[in-house]
Every structure is written in structure tokens, then in C-alpha cells.
Amino acid sequence: MSYFRDNIDSMTAYVPGAQPAAGETVIKLNTNENPYPPSPKALAALGEFDGERLCRYPHPMAGQFRAAVASVLGIGEGWILPGNGSDELIVIIARACAGSNRPIVYPYPTFEFYLTQAQIENAGPIQVSFDDEYNLPVDGLVAAGGAVTYVANPGSPSGTAVSNDALSELAERLTGVLVIDEAYVDFAESDSLELAKNCDNVILLRTLSKGYSLAGLRLGYAVANPQLLDGLAKVKDIYNVDCIADCVGAAAFEDQAYKIATAAKVNASRAKLTSDLEALGWSVLPSQANFVLVRPPGGNAQQVHQSLKDRRILVRYFNSPKLDDRLRITIGTDEQNAAIIGALTELKED
């Protein structure tokens, strides 16, 4: 006898990357956080926030933040649904659209939280393998017949990007919704906003966690046509975004210049880290995100992961098919990246 539904008993919990205690000195390159602080304008908005506002409920649609996104992207507010991180939007979509005989489908490997939501809703999942170059398996995804099909673009943990042509073909051929998870779009060469505007089954997900250095604030948003978002809003928590996130997130989003400059620094460091790793004999997938998926020369990723941990450098290791000979390394500051290259050079000499 259990207190839980059968599928909850049989699923495994999502395991987040390790978070060291405050004050612990580690080089933390395991969860794709931004190494730079949030925009000074966001920090000023936080400093000036009137604490007495906390006695009232927040705007149910994070009105201040939603207005900022609408103005920057040049779309109507009805096309934007804010969430408590894009993780919450992934939960909302599963709740509204997926279930038994309404599977969640995605190319594998990808963000594991889609799997978690599919298991909670008894909605598959159906996983369709990427090839070794991480081309989008359009035919396989269409054949799987998802009520919801997820494509993270750029992908995690690969960092690779697929073309808008491939996504557009997929959107057209699917009978269910296509969710394009653009968590890393701020580091990428292109985006799919036009696709979301033009296809009535496309939902774009974005977050302030990566490009805006606000992972701790918990704020993201969906872009889709208003009819689709009205359906999703039915299943959301009443006040899903708190008033501090609404205010600080708006200030951060309005400061596009800061976000663009920060992403440019990260991308320059990504190029440097890539060439340094390649010089050590590592293979590196071409990344459009703030991390790289890399294979050590001997493929002994688990051992390298542990040796780095012993040196207080955290990177991500996935003990799963197609990934267990690789590490995912978040792009840090140039100083942090030099530290990991130093450690790997030492390990090579041992």
C-alpha cells in the first residue's frame, strides 16, 4: 500500500546539479549559471523595492515584467505568459496537454526535466535519438505522434543548435504542440520568435536564469499565440510569479545592452576554452550555449569528473547512454576557465 499513484512510485526524482553551501569556495561550472552578476539596474530595483508591497498579492500575470517583455520583443502582452522559472512552464504544459495516450516526445539526449514531467502525467515519454552530429530527427519525432514535442534549442547538454528550417518543418508536420525551449537563446546566433508568431502550435520558452544572471530569482516566460496561452493559464498557480521577481525581472529585461554585453563576453570565453580543450586532445561539440559538451581523450569522463571535484572544480557528468564518456562544462570567467585548463593539464601529466 502506498500513498502515491503507481507512476509516482515507479519514477525517479530529477537530480539537480550539486549546489555548494554559501561561503564554500569551489569553481562552479556544473549548472550553466552565468558567471557575471545581474544587471546593475536589476540590483538597483531590488535595493529600492518597497518591502511593504509584500503584504499584497502580486499581479497574477507578472504585469510589470510582461509589459517589459512585450515592449522589448515588440509583441502584444497576450502573447506572453510569465512563469516561476521556465521549469514551471514545463510543468504547466505537461499538466494542460499531456496524459495517457497524449505522450510527451523529445529527441534524446536532452533536458531531463521533460522526462520527469512525462512520468508524473503518465505521458510516455517517447524518446527519439539524435545522431552523433545532433541533427534534429524530424521524421522520428513526427512518427512518435506527441501531444507535446520538446526541442531545446540550443540543446542541453549538447550545446548544439538546429536550424529554423528544421523546426519549421517539424511544427508544420506535428499534430500536437511544438515547444521550443530557448533557455540558452541569449548565447545563440538565431532564435525562433518568428516561428512562434506564425505557427499556432508553437510555444517558445525563455528564462532569465542563464542570459540575465538571475537563476536565483526564478523567472521565465512563454511566447505563443493568445489562444494557446489562455489554455495554459487555466492550470497555472494563481500567483505564480512573486512581486519581487516581477519588479526586478522587468528592470533586468529592459537592460538589453547589459545582457548582450555579458553574453558576448561568455561567447568569447567559450571560443577560448574550446581551443584550449582541443589543444589538450579533447573533442568539443560546436556550442551556441554557455557551456560545452566535451569528451576527454580517453573517454574516462567519470574519473576526470571526480579528479576535478577533488580539486574543488565542479562540472556535470551524466551517467546515461551517449553521455557517459563526456562532461558538460559551463563557461565561467576567463580566470575560472584557466583554472580548469590548468587542472586538466596537471591531470594529463599525472
Binding interface with ligand PLP (CB under 6 A): 32, 85-87, 111, 152, 156, 181, 183, 207, 209, 215, 220
Nearest distance from residue 349's CB to ligand PLP, in Å?
34
Q: Of 90 and 343, which CB lies nearer to ligand PLP in the complex structure?
A: 90
Angle at which helices 334-349 and 301-310 cross, to 10°: 110
Q: Of 155 and 176, which CB lies nearer to ligand PLP in the complex structure?
A: 155
E strand or H helix at 65, and its extent?
helix 63-73
Nearest distance from residue 344's CB to ligand PLP, in Å?
24
Residue number closest to ligand PLP, CB atom: 85
Q: Of 222 and 344, which CB lies nearer to ligand PLP in the complex structure?
A: 222
**CA–CA dist 117, 104 (Å, integer):** 8
Task: State the sign of the Cα–Cα–Cα–Cα dihedral 305, 112, 181, 159.
Answer: positive
Q: Of 85 and 332, which CB lies nearer to ligand PLP in the complex structure?
A: 85
| Contact indicator for 66, 77 with CB cutoff of 8 Å | yes
Nearest distance from residue 304's CB to ligand PLP, in Å?
22
**CA–CA dist 231, 95 (Å, integer):** 11
Nearest distance from residue 113's CB to ligand PLP, in Å?
7
* One-character DSSP codes across 209-268: SSTTS-TTT--EEEE--HHHHHHHHTTS-TT-S-HHHHHHHHHHHH-HHHHHHHHHHHHH
Q: Of 113 and 239, which CB lies nearer to ligand PLP in the complex structure?
A: 113
- What single letter denotes the amino acid at residue 59? H
Nearest distance from residue 90's CB to ligand PLP, in Å?
7
Q: CB atoms < 10 A from the CB of 53, how many?
A: 12
Residue in the structure block whose three cell numbers are 505522434 = 145
Q: Of 193 and 344, which CB lies nearer to ligand PLP in the complex structure?
A: 193
Nearest distance from residue 156's CB to ligand PLP, in Å?
4
Nearest distance from residue 307's CB to ligand PLP, in Å?
25
**CA–CA dist 188, 45 (Å, integer):** 28
Q: Of 192 and 207, which CB lies nearer to ligand PLP in the complex structure?
A: 207
